[in-house]
Amino acid sequence: MADKLPTYKHKERLRREGNSYDNMYGENIAGGICKLCDAGVEETLEHVMCECKHGKEERTKALREVGSLWEGEAGGGGWPMVDYINTTVTDL
Ligand SMILES: [Zn+2]
């Protein structure tokens, strides 16, 4: 995972005494620790998207719903099949 979104881990790395990150977050993001759960680990993109128990119910629901889209309809799973190679662009 690219881990480029503005997580507490990244904000904490940018925080220096007196800079804008320090003024905005201060010690509230010390260590870049996730504040949504009690795991005591850095808030990384992987933690937010895959591990944090705070979002577990939503992740499970989304995986179930997305997974069902791939079932049926001759392998297309209901997703629109687009022919990107033979598509032409026309002026309106
Ligand atoms: Zn967490």
d(CA 7, CA 84): 35
Greater confidence, 44 or 1?
A: 44
The tokens for 15 are 């925080």
Mean pLDDT of 58-71: 83
Kindly tell me if the per-residue pLDDT of 74 is higher than 90: no
d(CA 45, CA 9): 9
Which H or E element spans position 24? helix 20-25
Instruction: List, as ranges, residues with CB under 5 A of the ion ligand 1.
Output: 34, 36-37, 52
Give domain limits for the chain: 8-70
Specify the pLDDT at position 26.
94
CA of 11 to the centre of ligand 1 (A): 16
CA of 42 to the centre of ligand 1 (A): 8
Specify the pLDDT at position 65.
84
d(CA 7, CA 46): 10
Mean pLDDT of 18-27: 95
